[in-house]
Amino acid sequence: MIVITVSLGAACLLGVGFVAQQHAAYREPLEEMLHARLLLNLMRMPLWLTGLGLMVCGQILGAIALRGANVSLAALPVVVVAAALVCYGLRRSLKIKAIMLAAAGVLYGLQDVLTRGSLLTLDSGLSVLATWQLYALPSVAVVGLLLNQSAFDAAPLQISLPATTVAEPICGIVLGVAIFAERLLVTPAALAGEVAGLVAMVAGIVILGRSPYLAKPAQPALQGRRGEER
């Protein structure tokens, strides 16, 4: 029960954090997509920083809810998948590009596992400095953040968020089954709960995407460029 409560809390923090980040990132010009200056500009926005803080808290709670395991075998395939999605998206239209960049949020799934591994080694004192997870975590986090914010910059919430929302748990499920030797529940009650959660997730994204508070501010020149690329 505690694990479920912690997981729900993590999901709520992640959801609110993503919405705040998208609302800030979508105001940035397309030229900053996949450039470090996008993150530098966003770091000066209180709304984005609040969203980032909520997301980090959600990821830490999610990591606490995970079981510890050796993730070295899973890290490379996840990174390869993320890189493939980015390379594919860069050659496509703006909407597809946004979806592919958001799908590269599989790095967030890996980041959750690395965070969990780092938290577990804190009990060992200074030995945490000798673990590779501690040094891989910042790199994965920064790259995942840049990809995600670029997706938020490229397209509205209803286009950019679903891919991230789906990619992260799928990555976690795959890691759990293939590396952690966990088993999926396929009982009628479990399947019903999963379907209900999926429906609620889609409905929430649609409702949020239609909110006037998430509309892009009046920037005629920028809107014209976005319209032409779409």
Which pLDDT score is estimated for 230?
47
| Domains in the chain: boundaries | 2-224
Kindly report the pTM of this predicted structure: 0.72
**Residue 230 to residue 228: CA distance in whole angstroms:** 5
Q: Which residue has the tokens 């577990």?
A: 120
Task: Tell me what pLDDT residue 170 has.
Answer: 74
- Own/partner long-range contacts of 45-53 (Cβ < 8 Å, ≥24 apart): 47/20, 47/23, 48/20, 48/21, 48/24, 50/17, 50/20, 51/16, 51/17, 51/18, 51/19, 51/20, 51/21, 51/23, 51/24, 52/17, 52/21, 52/145, 53/17
As given in the structure block, the two tokens for residue 10 are: 């993590």
Positive or negative, the CA dihedral 200, 50, 36, 116 is negative
Each residue's pLDDT, cut to its tens digit, for the chain (230 residues) gives 676 677 778 878 887 888 889 888 888 888 888 888 999 999 999 999 999 999 888 877 776 765 544 555 556 777 777 788 888 877 778 778 777 777 777 888 787 777 766 776 666 666 667 777 778 888 888 888 888 888 888 887 777 777 777 777 777 677 666 655 667 677 888 778 878 877 887 777 777 666 665 555 554 444 444 444 44
CA 144 – CA 121 distance, rounded (Å): 23
Burial class for 9, CB neighbours closer than 10 Å (0-12, 13-18, 19+): middle
